[in-house]
Structure 1
Amino acid sequence: MISVANLAYIAGLFDGDGAIMALIEKHSEKKFGFRVRVILKVTQKNPEVLHWIQKTTKLGNVVSNRTTNEWILRNQIEILEFLKQMVRFVRIKKKQIIIAIAILQKPVKNQNDLVNIATLADSLASFNVRSKNRRKNFITSISVN
């Protein structure tokens, strides 16, 4: 269990340097041909704080890129539990967390469920500055197929 103080600190880092992304990818083994995934990231130049997040939460991995480092969490069950703990502490990304939780909690039982999740994924992507001009339109991807 993560302490309240540490959750609040991580929430501040996440509000400033974090991202929540939803992806809907083609996947031949899934009933409706698509897999829904949420990914969390915190980006920093110095990896020290990212290793601290990993150690404190016992979640995710730290990855080094050319000029930055990222703490990345991909496990869907862990993401859901982590977001549920953190939602009360964030300020800037609260709406995004609520959308991500809705995506993660919605089972895909039929094509309509998949379309609803794609709509949520598109709304989540609209919050991410870097993906506004180059993001996929998930609802179109699903409707075409």
Structure 2
Amino acid sequence: MDATILAYIAGFLDGDGSIFFQLVRRKDYCFGFQIRTSLAFYQKTENERILLWLKQQFKSGYIRRRKTGISDYTIVEPGEVRRILELLQPYVRLKKEHVGLGLEILRTLPQADDAAELVSLCRLVDRFREINYSKKRTITSTVVADFLKSHGYLAPVETDPIQERVVGHPAANTPVASAASRG
């Protein structure tokens, strides 16, 4: 994609876009939680054609019309979000921290196959709460860690109560999400 187009899209993301990561309870995941990623661009529905153009550029995601007169173009598949953030990273200005943190999470996510690694990633997701000024989040890394401890996936290390280790549990070596659910 042309650098001018990428710079334009990065400016759009800086002004009318959003990058966010959420912790979502998922009973079908071996550790009970999913790290959900979203990259979204917003525009008045009457100007939706720019969102259609974006979708043509990236060839992924979906467009939704809201009852509020706003439409959004959203990409949720982690591999696609990563690809797009890597393309836009050199050009973003206002959301540099968001893009950097998002890429750190997305690059680590495929390797997070035990409970301790999941909690570590959840702590990075918690940082999005601060940089996005999110006040409604109820599922945090602490909630995930407490759940994992209560289900025997994590236990405090005896010499250091802050450190945690994975308990020898059959699912402890199972990936956080199945390959099919990752896209």
Task: Name structure 2 gaps, 5 residues minimum.
Answer: 148-183
State how far apart, in whole Å, the 1-side matches of 2:123 and 2:116 are. Answer: 11
Whether 2:67 is the aligned partner of 1:63: answer no
CA distance in 2, matches of 1:7, 1:38: 21
Equivalent residue, structure 2, for 1:121: 125
**Structure 2 Cα separation of the partners of residues 108 and 136 of structure 1:** 22
Assess if the C-alpha contact under 8 Å between 2:24 and 2:139 holds in 1: no
Superposition CA RMSD, Å: 1.4
Rounded Cα–Cα distance in structure 1 between residues aligned with 2:57 and 2:102? 22
Task: Give yes or no for contact 1:118–1:139 (8 Å, CA) kept in 2.
Answer: yes
Structure 1 unaligned segments of length 5 or more: list them. Answer: none
% identical equivalent positions: 27
Computing the radius of gyration from Cα coordinates, the structure with the larger value is: 2
Aligned length: 142
Aligned to 2:24: 25
Q: Please give the per-residue CA displacement for 1:51-83, whole angstroms capped at 9, x wherever unaligned.
A: 111112212111110220101001111111111
Contact map agreement 1:122 1:137 (CA 8 A) in 2: no
Number of the residue aligned with 2:97: 95
SS class of match (2:54): helix
Q: What's the TM-score once normalised by structure 1's chain length?
A: 0.91
d(CA) in 1 for partners of 2:14, 2:85: 12
